[in-house]
C-alpha cells in the first residue's frame, strides 16, 4: 500500500487539466498526459499474430533461415521458431500469405 500512496502523491502533483486523480490514471495515464505518436499506434494496431507449422525445419540452420525470411518480409517482426515442434510464431505487419511465400522462397514447406 505504501507504493500506491507514493504513486498517488506523484500523480496528484502532475499538472492535470482538471486536477483529478484516480487509480486508473496510475495504471493508464490520461490522454492529456501521454500521447503516443500516431505512427506507433498504427504499427501496434496493424501487427498480426501468425502461427505456422513448418515441417521441413530439421536443424538450427533451417530455423535461422525461416526466421530471417520472415524478418526480410518485415524487419520489425518478432519471430520465434521452435525447432522441436517445428512451430513458427510471428508478430508481424506482413500478411500471412507474404510470410508463407517468404518461407517457401527459402526452400521450406508450410503445412
- Judgement on whether residues 100 and 62 belong to the same structural domain of the protein: yes
Residue 94 located in a structural domain: yes
Residue-wise pLDDT for 8-30, tens only, equals 555 455 554 544 444 444 444 44
- pTM listed for this prediction: 0.60
For residue 45, the enclosing domain spans 39-105
Do 63 and 11 reside in the same domain of the chain? Answer: no
Q: Could you tell me which residues are beta bridge partners of residue 79?
A: 90
Residue 88: C-alpha distances to residues 40, 50, 54, 60, 64 (Å): 25, 8, 7, 13, 11
Do 66 and 94 reside in the same domain of the chain?
yes
31 with 43, same domain: the answer is no
Q: Please report the DSSP string for 7-25 in residue order.
A: HHHHHHTS--SS----HHH
Asked whether the predicted pLDDT for residue 101 surpasses 50, the reply is yes
> Are 9 and 51 found together in one domain?
no
pLDDT in tens, 57-86: 999 999 999 999 999 999 999 999 999 999
Amino acid at each position: 500500500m505504501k507504493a500506491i500512496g507514493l504513486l498517488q502523491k506523484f500523480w496528484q502533483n502532475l499538472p492535470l487539466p482538471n486536477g483529478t486523480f484516480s487509480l486508473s490514471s496510475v495504471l493508464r495515464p490520461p490522454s492529456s498526459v501521454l500521447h503516443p505518436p500516431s505512427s506507433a499506434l498504427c504499427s501496434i494496431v496493424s501487427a498480426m499474430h501468425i502461427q505456422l507449422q513448418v515441417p521441413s525445419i530439421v536443424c538450427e540452420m533451417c530455423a535461422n533461415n525461416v526466421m530471417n525470411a520472415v524478418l526480410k518480409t518485415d524487419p520489425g517482426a518478432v519471430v520465434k521458431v521452435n525447432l522441436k515442434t517445428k512451430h513458427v510464431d510471428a508478430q508481424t505487419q506482413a500478411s500471412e500469405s507474404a510470410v508463407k511465400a517468404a518461407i517457401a522462397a527459402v526452400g521450406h514447406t508450410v503445412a
